[in-house]
Chains A and B, each alone.
Chain A
Amino acid sequence: MTRRVLAIAAVIVTALLLQSTVFASLRLLGVRPEFLYLVTIVVAFLEGPNEGAVIGFVSGLAQDLVLNEPKGILALTLTLLGYTMGMLRQYIVSPSPFLPVMLVGLGTVAGVTFHVVVSFLLGNYDNTIAFAVRVALLSALYNAILTPLVFPILRRVFEGSRPRRVVRF
């Protein structure tokens, strides 16, 4: 269990660091990826809605803390995103290797849109709708492109840290 908590913490800190350093200069048409959305969706896909909601909440809160926006909005967004993606996964029976890529793309669009809407309702969004749409679509595309790189790493991390005594079937 301790290993698992450490693994999750390491994944979230790494994602935050990459997002704020390397990918600030590696932008796709001016937009950077949304790493914590990507991590949340992939974990929900691998581990189910429980884990998805928890890692969504924790990573959302982590990013909220270093942002100057009202804290909690991203925690709310990613909790719901992780839960929804985890639930959705249970109803999809497709062996396609592109399934994670598709889910990450769609999930990021939905998540960013939800985040913008909540920020707007709280009087905290002061940009144009066109910009929000552009960020939602491009960050989703960027996240989808990064999925084949990130997915195997996260799968290794989470399978390696899974409790041993559990019966699997």
Chain B
Amino acid sequence: MAIRPRPRSTRLLVVTLVSVSLAIITLDYRGGTTGPLAGLGRVAKAAIAPMQEAVTSVTRPVGNFFSGVANLPSLAEENRQLKEELAETRAIAVGAQRDASENEELRDLLGLQDIRGGVPALVIGNGVSNFDWTITIDKGASDGIANDMPVVAGSPEAARLVGKVIDVTADSAEVQLILDPDHAAAAEIAGTPAVGVIKGRGDQDLVMEDVDPDLSEMLGGDDNVFTLGYVVDGQPGVYPSGLLIGQISRVAPEPNSLQLPIEIRPAVDFTTLNAVLVLQPTTRRDVAGSTTP
């Protein structure tokens, strides 16, 4: 091979490989998620998942160290802010405890199911491309994970939305993050009648669309945004109500527009996400009767 390659055979090779690539693109387009290539993809993912798990378990402390160093300048300021917030939150928590017990009584009266439990999973890999907002987790079909299950961070009681399962192998699953431009979910802004659809924009803040512009005066910075459960033709949406999506970071009213674009900072820090919880349908709240949190 070290001998100068003959140009004709090289050209033939390249033309062949390019043709095969084009054939693969076409086949995959026609086959969709059930085609032979999607199946082959699942085999590849199943093969690479154990290796990702091994590498991640070794490198996680190192990665955490580096992201810690990178964030050092902002940490002191953040620490001060968090202390202030903690004091405020403590005061609010006292009131919340009272509300929670009242809430529980009312829930019992209404016969609503609560979100309880879920399958905890570790993040073993991030998407391989810069244009791919997914994570791989270490639980799969053998742990009862299936497509379209909601994935959250934090406890089931204070769940922050991460995304949903889009592909499952026996022992790993792929989760589409809410940052993905292909991802959309129904949402509501706490304390207001505003509802809309949140969409991912890659590394930028999420955007909430279809909000009634007349409500712009009621919306403020830092308002919490939650998922909104719904039922269409007896089929519930992917997400149950009441998962925290994030806080409003910017409201940009445009004069004479029928839309009110709202930017939302996600509640989850996706760069340091290590563990998630997969909510299963049996543990999901009955969305048909759910109430605004």
Contacts and interface: CB of A to CB of B under 8 A. Distances in A.
A16 B128 contact: yes
A13 B51 contact: yes
A39 to B, nearest CB: 13
Nearest to A163: B1
Contacts of A66: 41, 44-45, 48, 128
A25 B128 CA distance: 12
Interface string A126-169: 11100100010001000000000000000000000011001110
Size bracket, chain A contacts: 35 or more
Contacts of B3: 166-167
Interface stretch (B52-60, B75-83, B243-251, B277-285): B52-60
Interface in B113-172: 124-132, 134, 136, 166-167
Nearest to A83: B14
Question: Which of A24, A31, A51 has the largest count of B CB atoms less than 10 A from its CB?
Answer: A24
Given A119-B131, A131-B203, 11 more contacts: A17-B48, A20-B127, A49-B14, A50-B13, A54-B13, A66-B128, A75-B21, A122-B25, A135-B130, A139-B130, A166-B3
Interface of A: 13, 16-22, 24-27, 30-32, 34, 47-51, 53-54, 56-57, 60-76, 79-80, 83, 112, 116, 119, 122, 125-128, 131, 135, 139, 162-163, 166-168
18 contacts: A17-B52, A18-B55, A20-B136, A21-B55, A21-B124, A25-B63, A32-B130, A34-B129, A50-B1, A62-B44, A65-B41, A67-B129, A69-B132, A70-B29, A72-B23, A75-B20, A125-B131, A135-B130
